[in-house]
Structure 1
Amino acid sequence: METIIDMQGVSWQREDRLLLNEVSWRVLPRQHWALLGLNGSGKTTLLNMINGYLWPTKGSIKVLGRTLGETDVRHLRQSIGWVSSSLQDKLYGTDSGERIVLSGKYATIGLYDRPSEEDISYAYACMEALQCTKLWSREYRTCSQGEKQKLLIARALMANPQLLILDEPCNGLDLFSRESLLSAITALASRTDTPTLIYVTHHTEEILPLFSHILLLRRGQVVQAGERESVMNADILSAFFENRVAVENHDNRIYLRPHS
């Protein structure tokens, strides 16, 4: 497979609003990317494009080597895991962690098929990868938001996706829940069978060292895209945020503060 994502000159216009403007972005195998953008930057529109829910007004998109418009997007989506907190409220609160994760194999809300022993073993392995096996028998409704996010990621892994999109997974988490989830994502990325990861956020400190490449998106345009070291510096981030910022590096994670 040549590319995981290949977007060339992609624009999307709704009425008189240009929500994406000439976006070009290539994600290669064995690369993990962070997508950094503030609210209203076009992140959700971009994700909907990748998943084939929106079609570009202009430009071309290939995902997992398949050109959108020339492939069955229903089959394509089976190879993409998109984890969003909006899914949390749709799942059944009385289901156990085990059932939540197993339902990912069938992409259903609730578990209606009888899983095999192999399925059950794999579900446990997915939860182990996310450091949440203690939730195996726990009712979903009793889990914290951070625990629910771990279950959602494990659920997405059940379908063996080639691409896993984590859409602002730390949104609404407190400091300790956030760090617990980020630790689980780091453990997941260390596995040899981990899919390509796209981590979407508007907080630089969430961008873990495992993300080798960064895309900066502002008002529907790519400001910068490339290797982490070339993007995460004070000059580029100040231009991106349109405010002078100072960059502090702690354990290879970038923390920002207003430049005095």
Structure 2
Amino acid sequence: MKNIISMKNVSLIREDRVILKDINWEIKEKEHWVILGLNGSGKTSILNIVTGYQYPTKGEVSVLGHQFGKTNLPELRKQIGFVSSSLDRFNQTLRAETVEDIVISGKFATIGLYENVANEDREQAEQLMASLRIDHLKGKTYDTLSEGEKRKVLIGRALMAKPKLLILDEPTIGLDILAREDILSLTKEIIAHQQCHVLYVTHYIEEIIEEMTHVLLLKEGQIVAGSSPNYCVNSPLIDNMDLMT
């Protein structure tokens, strides 16, 4: 079975501080993983390595069959959809963009739309918006949306390029209960209908939906466990992680 992500003996050290230590982890085809851990556990560092924005101090990494050190990272990133509150730093660019243009921009992996757009791209964006229940937002600018609506628009943007891997990095952070449930419902639908592997990052146990096949427990830069959701959630190991419920 093909590996979607493979990390072998990966460690990350910055200024004599061990951020990740001896990470051995694989995501195989048809698997959908939750990375569960507190802030500072190493979740963001793993994502930075997966997306090629940070190189490990030691170890081997391959993503979607591309071995790091022997691949074109910008081209690889076009196969990875990424949704994170960290994208808020681009608000100055996004704020005046229409919802449909933000979704379309995902095809070009840009923040802002700078390319000529074909009619089929606009049709694809409209179909995506309908499937994400945001088609009623067409024509609205990003700065007029609620936080939940913004998050769904960014999910649409991430899906526009038909990624093989979709990373949802704490997608419910800052949302109220109803908006959070809406995002979780959409995640279920994406797993059911989109042909991509989902990597969902959170520190909330209750966000481990039944469609997720595996959970990776992280603590202080090390893997505590990597197994089925039922095993991880009910394991005595999780009692020492002080996770939110």
Paired position in structure 1 for 2:119: 117
CA shift, 1:115, in A, is 1.4
CA shift, 1:136, in A, is 1.7
Q: CA RMSD in A?
A: 1.6
The AA in structure 2 aligned to 1:156 is A
Paired position in structure 2 for 1:162: 164
Deviates more, 1:4-13 or 1:124-133: 124-133
The one of 180, 184, 187 equivalent to 1:185 is 187
Please say if residues 208 and 229 of structure 2, whose CA atoms lie closer than 8 Å, have aligned partners that are also in contact.
Answer: no
Please say if residues 213 and 227 of structure 1, whose CA atoms lie closer than 8 Å, have aligned partners that are also in contact.
Answer: yes
The AA in structure 1 aligned to 2:30 is R
Higher helix share goes to which structure? Answer: 2
Tell me the SS of whatever aligns to 1:126: helix
Please say if residues 130 and 188 of structure 1, whose CA atoms lie closer than 8 Å, have aligned partners that are also in contact.
Answer: no
Deviant stretches of 4+, over 4 Å: none
Unaligned runs of 5+ in 1: 244-254
Tell me the SS of whatever aligns to 2:81: strand
* TM-score, with length taken from structure 1: 0.89
Paired position in structure 2 for 1:219: 220
CA shift, 1:28, in A, is 0.5
Unaligned runs of 5+ in 2: none
The AA in structure 2 aligned to 1:62 is S
Correspondence 1:28 to 2:28 = yes
Distance 2:10 2:241 in 1: 20
Correspondence 1:15 to 2:15 = yes
Correspondence 1:54 to 2:77 = no
Alignment of 1:17-96 (within 5 A): 17-90=17-90, 91-96=93-98
Please say if residues 83 and 152 of structure 1, whose CA atoms lie closer than 8 Å, have aligned partners that are also in contact.
Answer: yes
Distance 2:36 2:45 in 1: 14
Tell me the SS of whatever aligns to 1:20: strand
Tell me the SS of whatever aligns to 2:94: coil
CA shift, 1:18, in A, is 0.3
Paired position in structure 2 for 1:152: 154
CA shift, 1:164, in A, is 0.6
Number of residue pairs the alignment of both structures matches: 243
* TM-score, with length taken from structure 2: 0.94
The AA in structure 2 aligned to 1:74 is P
The AA in structure 2 aligned to 1:52 is G
With over 3 angstroms needed to count, the CA separation of the structure-2 counterparts of 1:15 and 1:89, relative to structure 1, is closer
CA shift, 1:107, in A, is 1.7
Distance 1:236 1:194 in 2: 33
CA shift, 1:112, in A, is 2.2
The AA in structure 1 aligned to 2:32 is H
CA shift, 1:234, in A, is 4.9
CA shift, 1:194, in A, is 2.9
Distance 1:41 1:89 in 2: 23
Please say if residues 35 and 216 of structure 1, whose CA atoms lie closer than 8 Å, have aligned partners that are also in contact.
Answer: yes
Q: Deviations over 1:113-149 (max 9, x none)?
A: 2211210111112222322211222211111111101
